[in-house]
Amino acid sequence: MSVAIADLLRLLSVNPVYRNRVVFTDITGPTEARYGELGTPLSASLAAYLKQKNIRLYTHQCDAINHLRNGRNVIITTPTASGKTLAFNLPVFEKLEQDPAARALYLYPTKALSNDQLATLEQMDRFTTTGVRPAIYDGDTPQSKRAAIRENARIIISNPHELHQVLSWHAKWRPFFSGLRYIVIDEAHRYRGVFGSHIALLVRRLLRLCAFYGSHPQFVLSTATIANPVEFAGNLTGRSFELVQQDGSPHGRRTFVLYNPFYDGIGDRSAHQETKDLLLSCVKEDLQTLCFTGSRKMAELVTLWAREDARHSSCRLADAISAYRAGYLPEERRGLERQLKDGMMKGIVSTNALELGIDVGTLDAVILSGYPGTMMSARQQAGRAGRNGTDSLAILVAMANPLDQYFMNHPDRFFSRSHEHAIVDTHNPYIVSGHLLCAAAELPVNDSADSLFFGESLSSHLADLATHDLVRKTARGWVYSGRGRAAEAVQLDGIPGPTFRIMHKGKLLETMDRGHAFSEAHKGAIMLHQGVTYVVNEMDLETHTIRVSETDVDYYTQPLKEVSLKIVETTGNRILNDVKCAFGEVEVTETITGFKLKRGDTIIGIEPLSLPPTTFRTKAFWLVPPERIGQKVDAGDLDLAGGLHGAEHAIIALMPLHVMCDRWDIGGLSSPMFGETGEPAIFVYDAYEGGIGLAEKAYDILPCLLASAHELVRDCSCEKGCPSCIYSPKCGNDNQPLDKEATIIILGELCRQPVPATAVPDPAVSPTVSP
């Protein structure tokens, strides 16, 4: 192990402050490189290319190439910097060498990634003289160059938004689409949730056009680590996939430290102060360190504090620490990159949002100030250290919230196989019907042939669109007959319906659907956008415009919300430990009645709001605890409503551990007496019209979800519930009522885990209750 890392680990274990807070240290590796064999050798030009670059192919690269040569679709999930790009560039070039009519499409989520890939492809093309003429075709491509790119480029790099716009011009793309042999979707994990569901249907539209022009392209997807790569790839594209996940690239020794400022349940120093101390310790050990924080403001503060402290020992050290944020000019960015490369810069602090914004090269250590929301991001961020097979260190500094604390109490969950399922929903009726509208503007839609792409609900959607005069049935199929451009009506990042535009200084900051706008961007709300804090000055319900200004307040706001819910249709039933569980469609009505201003946990004010209620149909799962659970809670003189509410919060808090989403995406409701039957119930629903598959997936894996929620609450060291277990920062009822003991009993019964006597005294043992 590198001496500097060993020294730092020693410091962590002897320093009395650090020692207590280090809850777990995980060490893996080093691992040797494993090289693979190709079924048949590469062409002379590609072999020469590898030789000149002194590259020998790893096992995973060979696996991917062999599968692709066999005509299979491949998803590669090996870590960043393991050489994924080469694993698909080689077979793509091979195909282009063999077949002069062959073409390939690369989809990238960002401009920066597109540019990087273009540079790589151009270099390969120059060396191998394949005549690929790769080019980027996106919103910035000048009109005058477009025709030539469509005609001549054999690899086109684009993004989903551009593709969405160009599909209706397919006649101009005929040579490209008819020759299309490969579709590469890099960073595919970004296409999840609402956006991903749109992309899945966009891919269906592309494939329908390919079929029309007689091509049947293969897919290559690359993603970060997720629990369901093959399922995800299948949902995103509608095809079956081979998985390539065994990384053959070499790694140094990797040390991952879980660090809990709240180890004692109190946390007398802020997690940000602790982050600063750790950063300084790393930098003093001469470890080049990258630190990720949750917001831009925190990045600035941690940098400021670290520099102040460093100045006590050395000015040079202070100057070697800097913040990196969006909005840096290319020159500033390149300057910083250069300083990092030549070792002048020792510490960089950045927000989570900038995972991919900058080429930081090889670093020694990464500090994650707070769990970044997904295990996938955590791994990607940690992967920033120790490239090229060197030793590396990563430290996760936990915040007080439930997920962070869950990992601190259950380190094995953090280091085990990923449980996060990436979800795309190809059945959301709003999204499906939108893309049908676009498809009908591209080629007439045929009920039977096109249900292959759009699913069985196609006919009923088309009939519905026809009653609104948006499509017409003709002898050749359904034809788009709306007046506006279909692709303009359908936006890839939302569900149709009233959207609010959030404006800052006359510029559009983002758009939000009505439900989210009412709860997050009402007048007076404090909102965070890409790490910057804004206050809402005005919400115009007529023009759907929200005006905000930048602010620097030390409080935050929390909406007060009344939720009512109606079951529309139950589509699934299951019994888990004699608890009735169900899945189906529900109608949710949310009314925002006001909001609280809070500083820390202290309420500094409550403001009323009068906003109309929002009603939407979505998908939910729900649990109906049987009578005996209620009796058990009663017997302990505990509060059933508080227990159900706590269970709801815990389940929602741990949803992201299993189903990739954030708390915006889900909502919940619990009641000791629900509906006509008056039974107790807990509902968890997707916070989007039509649902986006989150509750549906959670329903599938319910036992795991309930077990982890139970562990979370049971193993939290607090007495009456805290922000680390059952308090929810977005609770519309101000976390009232909550009863931790009752929560533990309910969750324990739901997953039939005995409630251990060590965690809480077991008040519920009563002779009258026996299951």
Partner 1 sequence: MTVMEVSGARIGSLWRQRVDTLQEYEVIRDGNVFAAGFSNSYVCSSEYDRARQYLRELINQYDGCSLEAVFSGGRELVNDGGSCYLLESCEPLENPCFDEDRFRSLISGDLTLVHGIGKSTEKRLKQRGYQTLYDLMEHPRYRTPARRAADCIGLGKPADIMDLIGKRHSKSHPFVLGTAGLHEPGDYVFLDIETLGLFSRPIILFGVGILENGRLIVRQYLLRDISEEPAALMATLGYLSSDHPALVTFNGKAFDAPYVSDRLAYYGMEAINGIPHFDVLHFSRRKWKDTLSSLRLCALEKEILGISRDDDVPGQMVPEFYETYLRSGNCGPLVPIVEHNRQDVASLARLFFRLLGDVCGDR
Give residues in contact with partner 1 (CB under 8 A): 168-171, 174, 212, 429-430, 433-434, 437, 441-444, 457, 460-461, 463-465, 467-470, 472-476, 479-489, 496-497, 568-569, 585, 617, 690
Kindly tell me which of 11 and 503 has the beta carbon lying closer to partner 1: 503
Q: In terms of Cα–Cα distance, which of 253, 274, 265, 347 is closest to 307?
A: 347
- The CB-of-463 to partner 1 minimum distance in angstroms stands at 8
Instruction: Show the tokens assigned to 423.
Output: 């979800």
Tokens coding 581: 């569980």
The β-bridge relationship of strands 321-324 and 602-608 is: unpaired
714 DSSP 8-state letter? H
User: In the complex, what is the shortest distance from the CB of residue 206 to partner 1, in angstroms, rounded to a whole number?
Assistant: 16
Measure the CA–CA gap between 473 and 468, rounded to whole angstroms: 12
Cα 339 from Cα 353, distance rounded (Å):
22
The nearest distance, CB 483 to partner 1, in angstroms, is 5
179 vs 680, beta carbon nearer partner 1: 179
58 vs 621 by CB, closer to partner 1: 621
For residue 70, the minimal CB distance to partner 1 (Å) is 32
Name which of 30 and 497 has its Cβ closer to partner 1.
497
Furthest CA-CA distance within the chain = 83
Q: Which is nearer to partner 1, 356 or 466 (CB)?
A: 466
Closest contact distance (angstroms) between CB of 552 and partner 1 is 36
Task: Look at residues 300, 367, 357 and name the one whose alpha carbon lies nearest to residue 333.
Answer: 357
Min dist. Cβ of residue 174 to partner 1 (A):
8
- State which residue, 198 or 632, has the beta carbon closest to partner 1: 198
The Cα–Cα gap between 746 and 633 comes to: 8
Sign of the torsion formed by the C-alpha atoms of 376, 380, 385 and 389: positive
CB of 491 to partner 1, least distance (A): 9
Instruction: Kindly report the backbone phi and psi dihedral angles of residue 726, in degrees, each rounded to the nearest multiple of 5, phi listed first.
Output: -100, -5
- Residue placing its CB nearer to partner 1 in the complex, 473 or 504: 473
- The pairing of strands 135-136 and 526-529 is unpaired
Secondary structure (DSSP) of 432-462: HHHHHHHHHHHS-B-HHHHHHHH-TTHHHHH
Q: Least distance (Å) from partner 1 to the CB of residue 466?
A: 8
Structure letter (DSSP) for residue 133: -
Min CB(467)–partner 1 separation in Å:
6
- Decide if 203 contacts 438 (C-beta within 8 A): no
CB of 280 to partner 1, least distance (A): 53
- C-beta closer to partner 1: residue 168 or 218: 168
| φ, ψ dihedrals at 470, nearest 5° | -95, -25
Residue type, 291: C
Which residue, 200 or 400, has its beta carbon nearer to partner 1? 200
Distance, CA of 393 to CA of 287 (rounded, Å): 9
Q: At closest approach, how far in Å is the CB of 390 from partner 1?
A: 53
Taking the complex as a whole, the smallest distance from the CB of residue 574 to partner 1 amounts, in Å, to 20
Q: Which residue, 242 or 587, is less far from partner 1 as judged by CB?
A: 587
| Tokens matching residue 67 | 């599968």
Three-state DSSP state, 247: coil
404: exposed, middle or buried (Cβ count in 10 Å: 0-12, 13-18, 19+): buried
Helix axes 193-212, 447-454, angle to 10 degrees: 140
Run of H or E including 569: strand 556-576
In this structure, what token pair is assigned to residue 536? 């809402």
**Closest by CA position to 193, among listed 687, 706, 678:** 687
Output the smallest distance, CB 498 to partner 1, in A.
Answer: 8
Compute CA 177 distance to the chain's CA centroid, rounded to the nearest angstrom. 31
* Smallest separation, CB 588 to partner 1 (Å): 13
Q: What is the DSSP letter of 31?
A: B
Q: Which is nearer to partner 1, 312 or 483 (CB)?
A: 483
Nearer to partner 1, 116 or 464 (CB): 464
Nearer to partner 1, 140 or 569 (CB): 569
Cβ neighbours around 470 below 10 Å, total: 22
Between CA 610 and CA 601 the distance in angstroms is 25
Say if CB 592 and CB 611 are below 8 A apart.
yes
CB nearer partner 1, residue 434 or residue 668: 434
Can you read off the two tokens belonging to residue 36? 């693979």
Cα–Cα distance measured from residue 748 to residue 759, given in angstroms and rounded to the nearest whole number: 12
Alpha-carbon distances of 303 from 293, 312, 343, 615, rounded to whole Å: 11, 15, 18, 45
Percentages helix, strand, coil for the chain (3-state, rounded to 5) are 40, 25, 35
Question: For residues 202 and 706, which CB has a smaller minimum distance to partner 1 in the complex?
Answer: 202
Q: What is the enclosing helix (H) or strand (E) of 713?
A: helix 702-714
Distance in Å, CB of 674 to partner 1, minimum: 20
